[in-house]
Amino acid sequence: MKLAIIDDHSLIRSGVSSALAKTEFEVIAEASSVKEGAAVINSHKPDICLVDVNLGAGNGIDLIKQSIATGIRSKFVVLTMHDDSETLELAKEAGAAAYVTKSVPIEQLIQVLYAVAESKTFIRRGEIQAEVTKKDFGLTVREVEVLSHLPTGATAAVIAGILFLTEATVKTHLAAIYRKLGAANRAQAVSIGIENKLIPKQ
């Protein structure tokens, strides 16, 4: 089984290559960038390409997309430090056959390579961090608008003028905001709002 390793770290390439020396996989080429990787894939046509996401100024996921679009029949295994669900989904969408984080033992990587060689099912190995759900605290759109003006130090009267509301209405919204956020004052409300990405950091 012919394999190419495309990673911008020479230690990773040499480590994986050494680990595969006693397996059925033959490392026929290595590359450290998208340009080199494309050349290796087109000239050697490996059965499996082990591809990192970060390739210097380039991106391994883009390399996978480009290769598959040109009709390359190689299977692509993403080997990366990225342990987030967003990058995982991008790799799947690009056409990768497997996604492996660099935190897994080399034995697991080898198992994945054997599985990829025999399977058409997408394979994942390594801990993927769940996407953090943003809390909205039940704030209404108007309350978020009022909250977004608090970091500027604007008074209730000023906020009322900006949002074309009465000062009394703004104060009602402020009371609701403090209650829903569990904030004792303006500074605490702003801190909670920024921490939960309800408002941008100033």
DSSP string for 91-116: HHHHT-SEEEETTS-HHHHHHHHHHH
Phi, psi of 169 (to 5 degrees): -65, -40
pTM of the model: 0.64
Same domain (yes/no): 116, 52: yes
Range(s) of the domain holding residue 68: 2-125
- Residue 168 in any domain: the answer is yes
Same domain (yes/no): 64, 88: yes
From CA 63, how far away is CA 99, in angstroms rounded?
15
- What are 175-199's pLDDT values in tens digits? 999 999 999 999 999 988 888 888 8
Number of domains in the chain: 2
What's 147's domain CATH number? 1.10.10.10
* Cβ neighbour number for residue 180 with a 10 Å cutoff: 17
Q: What is the pLDDT along the chain (202 residues), one digit of tens a residue?
A: 999 999 999 999 999 999 999 899 999 999 999 999 999 999 999 999 999 999 977 899 999 999 999 999 999 999 999 888 888 999 999 999 999 999 899 999 999 999 998 887 888 888 776 555 567 788 988 999 999 999 989 999 999 999 999 999 999 999 999 999 999 999 999 988 888 888 876 5
**Structure token pair of residue 168:** 């009394």
Same domain (yes/no): 85, 175: no
